[in-house]
A and B are shown apart, each in its own frame.
Chain A
Amino acid sequence: MNLSVTEEQVMLKTMARDFLEKECPKTLVRELEESEKGYSPELWSKMAELGWLGMAYPEKYGGTGGGILDLAILYEEMGRALLPSPHLSTVVLCGLTILAVGSEAQKDEFLPKIAKGERVLALAWTEPNGGYGPESITVSAVPERDEYVINGTKLFVRDAHIADYLLCVARTKDGASPEEGITLFLVDAKSPGISLTPLVTTAGDKQFEVVFDKVRVPEWNLVGELHGGWSPLFKVIEKAAILQCAEMVGGGQYVTEISVDYAKTRVQYGTIIGVNQGVQWKCVDQSLIVDKGRAITYQTAGKIDQGLPATADVAVAQAFLSNEYPRCCWEGHQVFAGVAFTVDHDMQLYSRRAQTARVQLGDANFWNEVLARQLNL
């Protein structure tokens, strides 16, 4: 057993930290939250140049052949900086799905462009019923000659407004089990019949209601096997979840640092507030959440890269961080008290974004259930 990271990975972390400290200050984060686009195309191009968009793709598709662990290191720094970008939607959720089960033609068409920063994609997965599992997929795709016609509503679709393509998770038949009969389609975002309504969220991130009204999609755009889309999709969702965990760990690390710093400098009653046990215990809790979260996240990312079974670990990591990362932010608020609850302070930038991460790729209850099934309950 070897639980260390390589020298290259340490360099990747340092470089990412330096780059984001310079290119993604909190002023930009705030500006982008207020903006309609929600990301900076200039910064996205720079990320492409650094190889961040093709990191997990093979070289023949314009990538650098890295793994999920490499991406996790990157995601931790992106989480620390609160980088607003469509990386998770484009590179991971959609890109890794195309890589896993797309045709050669689809891989050739999409992956190099994604790696160069020339295409943005969004995954249209969850629906108004609010569930994450295959039984929650009701948007239908019906074959008609050489096309499929998609009807239904997707909800909480992140980055839909800037996407060139939507990867739509649709039901093509009612099978013997809910998994059977789900198919993935690449839908041109400019197709007639698609309408977007923005949702107003705690984090100010860009999520949408996407209505598909008789949207026609050529057969060519079907990704993977007809009726067999759920299983490969879920494997990608697991990878995305562990990367999101890394993002939460990065946020948690920063939150803990600023909370401890405040506890060491704030003076009340003639002394530093960190002298008080109540404050000390909170900072201890925060740092344990980050350390534990980092350990499970990196180990699981490593297992995934080794091709070992990792579903249970992903479930543990995500369920733990879904609750504990928001708690880490909460303890930060407790340490800061009055000074951090107005919009001027950076603390609430983290605590609000934690609300997306805790539910976006499955909430704690969902992953608890996944874990329970892994344990044969």
Chain B
Amino acid sequence: MDFRFTPEEEKWKQEAREFLKKEIPPDYMGEDAYDESTIEEAIAFSDQFRTKLGQKDWLAMSWPEPWSHKRTIIEQCIFGEELGYALAPWLSWGTALGTGASVLGYGTEEQKKRFVPPIRSGEQSYCLGWTETEAGSDMANLQMRAVRDGDDWVVNGQKIFNNDAHRVNGIWLACRTDPAARKHRGISIFVVDKELIEKGGVTIRRMWTMAGRTISEIFIDDVRIPSFNMIGEPNQAWYGALNNTKYLGVGPSSIMRTKRHLDMLVDFCQETKRNGEPLGKSPAIRNELAEFAISVGMERAIWWRENWERADREMKGITEVSRGGGVQPLAGQGTVLWGKEFVPYFYERALQMLGLYGQLKPGSKWAPLAGFLEQEWRDRPSNHAHGTPEIIRLVLATAGLGLPRR
């Protein structure tokens, strides 16, 4: 066992750190720290950050040449941890990378040439256009219709709970193209890029969550999508482009984001006194802070292990992982579940430490740490996004452990 990085990897880490130190202000609290009056500013900063990453060709590190400058998984992990700890913005390019990865996996050469470079450069961003009111956890239940008309597909319908639709210029859109086929078998996926959106028919409505964050609804009225924009064969998306993981990279480490928040909380407990003594001296608080640090440390260890295993498989040319009878690779699902269960628990307990002060929102007088913990608390119910913890447990139990399905 050797946990050391190579000298090249150390150099890369320093380079990443210096870049982030330059581009991210020291008091930056993340791309979600906005309110109604500052949201446009926050979006502009995220866009600018994405552009800077694109200029350095650091957006799509997992794509093969000539589509991007590919870096090793370990290098991606190093970068991911730095991004996470810096609370760097990524919402406006995370989905775009998934879109690009699917185009690389299932698109024609022409499609790759047209759609991949603008993502690589940061010019084109995407949001997911998958969820509908009746298709949440059960995504295959989606109803948005795409009807063939000549060389186009005419699309009508509504999507909801779309993360960041109002801050991107493209949609990775899943539609039902065969209403007669059984659920999973009638779904296709389209790239709806800037050019298409500018033609009209797409309306976005911003919704506010209880955490003061935004999500959106997308209304699509008679939009004509050229068949060139469909990735993969009609009705095959569920088995291909929608569930593609081959070119997906590591991305920012949400574990390190939580670690950053924990470190801020620890500093706060060291500096803040209650009745003459620092909060950190309280046995109850010390005990709990220690437990958080243990959980974060453990998760980080598992994350490195799983990514290392993936790097090792890649090196040996093994492309699929089969575990417990399931074909879908389960690596990373455990960490995803941690993000949905432990992280909300962490904010719940952190507020408990703040007592009366835990009620104060960002912007309130007396709000500790600019109220960010209170806002994170309010954001806990967004833990359902991209899979509820219960569904993940179901997948872990059935596909992972081979337990029977209902």
Binding site for B on A (CB under 8 A): 126, 128-131, 135-136, 155-156, 197, 199-203, 207, 209, 267-270, 273, 275-276, 278-279, 323, 326, 330, 333-334, 337-344, 348, 351-352, 355-356, 359-360, 363-366
Q: Does B22 contact A (CB under 8 A)?
A: no
Q: Given contacts A203-B359, A339-B133, list 14 more A-B pairs with CB under 8 A.
A: A130-B274, A156-B356, A156-B359, A200-B365, A201-B361, A267-B134, A269-B138, A337-B136, A341-B209, A341-B381, A342-B210, A351-B381, A355-B377, A356-B359
With contacts A276-B390, A276-B406, A342-B209 known, is A359 near B381, CB below 8 A?
Answer: no
Contacts of B382 in A (CB 8 A): 341
Once the chains bind, are A155 and B356 in contact (CB under 8 Å)?
yes
With contacts A130-B356, A268-B141, A337-B384 known, is A342 near B275, CB below 8 A?
Answer: no
Once the chains bind, are B274 and A348 in contact (CB under 8 Å)?
no
Q: Which of B112-160 contact A (CB under 8 A)?
A: 131, 133-134, 136-138, 141, 160
Once the chains bind, are A338 and B360 in contact (CB under 8 Å)?
no
Once the chains bind, are B360 and A199 in contact (CB under 8 Å)?
yes
Please pick, from B138, B352, B359, B367, the residue contacting A268 in the complex, using a CB distance under 8 A. B138
Once the chains bind, are B380 and A338 in contact (CB under 8 Å)?
no
Q: Does B400 contact A (CB under 8 A)?
A: no
Contacts of B384 in A (CB 8 A): 334, 337-338, 341
Once the chains bind, are A355 and B275 in contact (CB under 8 Å)?
no
B354 → A minimal CB distance (Å): 8
Closest 6 CB pairs of A and B: A200-B364, A268-B138, A337-B384, A278-B390, A348-B210, A333-B381
Please pick, from B131, B284, B355, the residue contacting A338 in the complex, using a CB distance under 8 A. B131
Q: Does B222 contact A (CB under 8 A)?
A: no
Considering the chains assembled together, what is the distance between the CA atoms of A267 and B367 in angstroms? 41
With contacts A275-B406, A342-B215 known, is A359 near B365, CB below 8 A?
Answer: no
With contacts A268-B141, A342-B210, A355-B377 known, is A365 near B284, CB below 8 A?
Answer: yes
Q: B377-397, CB under 8 A of A: which get 1 and which 0? A: 110111011001110011000
Once the chains bind, are A341 and B356 in contact (CB under 8 Å)?
no
With contacts A268-B136, A269-B137, A355-B358 known, is A199 near B366, CB below 8 A?
Answer: yes
Closest B residue to A127 by beta carbon equals: B356
Once the chains bind, are A333 and B380 in contact (CB under 8 Å)?
yes
Closest A residue to B273 by beta carbon equals: A129
Once the chains bind, are A136 and B361 in contact (CB under 8 Å)?
no
Once the chains bind, are B344 and A330 in contact (CB under 8 Å)?
yes
Once the chains bind, are B274 and A365 in contact (CB under 8 Å)?
no
Contacts of B381 in A (CB 8 A): 330, 333-334, 340-341, 348, 351
Once the chains bind, are B136 and A359 in contact (CB under 8 Å)?
no
Q: Does B207 contact A (CB under 8 A)?
A: yes
Once the chains bind, are A330 and B380 in contact (CB under 8 Å)?
yes
Contacts of B358 in A (CB 8 A): 202, 355, 359
Considering the chains assembled together, what is the distance between the CA atoms of A137 and B359 in angstroms? 21
Q: Does B292 contact A (CB under 8 A)?
A: no
Binding site for A on B (CB under 8 A): 131, 133-134, 136-138, 141, 160-161, 207-211, 215, 273-275, 284, 344, 348, 351-352, 354-361, 363-367, 371, 374, 377-378, 380-382, 384-385, 388-390, 393-394, 406
Once the chains bind, are A200 and B406 in contact (CB under 8 Å)?
no
With contacts A201-B364, A276-B390, A355-B377 known, is A341 near B357, CB below 8 A?
Answer: no
Once the chains bind, are A334 and B136 in contact (CB under 8 Å)?
no
Once the chains bind, are B380 and A129 in contact (CB under 8 Å)?
no
B214 → A minimal CB distance (Å): 10
Contacts of A337 in B (CB 8 A): 136-137, 384, 388
Closest B residue to A266 by beta carbon equals: B136
Once the chains bind, are A352 and B348 in contact (CB under 8 Å)?
no
Considering the chains assembled together, what is the distance between the CA atoms of A200 and B138 in angstroms? 38
B404 → A minimal CB distance (Å): 12
Contacts of A351 in B (CB 8 A): 210, 381
Considering the chains assembled together, what is the distance between the CA atoms of A136 and B356 in angstroms? 13
Considering the chains assembled together, what is the distance between the CA atoms of A344 and B344 in angstroms? 22
With contacts A155-B366, A199-B364, A338-B384 known, is A343 near B210, CB below 8 A?
Answer: yes
Closest B residue to A201 by beta carbon equals: B359
Among B131, B358, B367: residue with most chain A CB under 10 A: B358
Considering the chains assembled together, what is the distance between the CA atoms of A338 and B383 in angstroms? 9
Considering the chains assembled together, what is the distance between the CA atoms of A276 and B348 in angstroms? 26
A257 → B minimal CB distance (Å): 18
Considering the chains assembled together, what is the distance between the CA atoms of A373 and B99 in angstroms? 60
Contacts of A348 in B (CB 8 A): 210, 381
B57 → A minimal CB distance (Å): 36
Considering the chains assembled together, what is the distance between the CA atoms of A128 and B360 in angstroms? 13
Closest B residue to A337 by beta carbon equals: B384
Considering the chains assembled together, what is the distance between the CA atoms of A222 and B192 in angstroms? 72
Contacts of A343 in B (CB 8 A): 208-210
Considering the chains assembled together, what is the distance between the CA atoms of A352 and B367 in angstroms? 16
| A–B complex contacts, Cβ < 8 Å, 19 sampled | A129-B274, A129-B275, A130-B356, A156-B359, A199-B359, A200-B364, A200-B365, A201-B359, A268-B138, A278-B390, A278-B394, A279-B390, A334-B381, A334-B390, A337-B137, A348-B210, A351-B381, A359-B359, A363-B352
Contacts of A364 in B (CB 8 A): 352
Contacts of A344 in B (CB 8 A): 207
Contacts of A326 in B (CB 8 A): 348
Once the chains bind, are A365 and B352 in contact (CB under 8 Å)?
yes
Contacts of B208 in A (CB 8 A): 342-343
Contacts of A363 in B (CB 8 A): 352, 355-356
Contacts of B137 in A (CB 8 A): 268-269, 273, 337
Contacts of A209 in B (CB 8 A): 365-366
Contacts of B209 in A (CB 8 A): 341-343
Considering the chains assembled together, what is the distance between the CA atoms of A278 and B398 in angstroms? 14
Once the chains bind, are A338 and B210 in contact (CB under 8 Å)?
no
Once the chains bind, are A202 and B136 in contact (CB under 8 Å)?
no
Please pick, from A126, A200, A269, the residue contacting B356 in the complex, using a CB distance under 8 A. A126
Once the chains bind, are B377 and A197 in contact (CB under 8 Å)?
no
Closest B residue to A366 by beta carbon equals: B355
Contacts of A201 in B (CB 8 A): 359-361, 364
Please pick, from B273, B361, B365, the residue contacting A202 in the complex, using a CB distance under 8 A. B361
Once the chains bind, are A200 and B136 in contact (CB under 8 Å)?
no
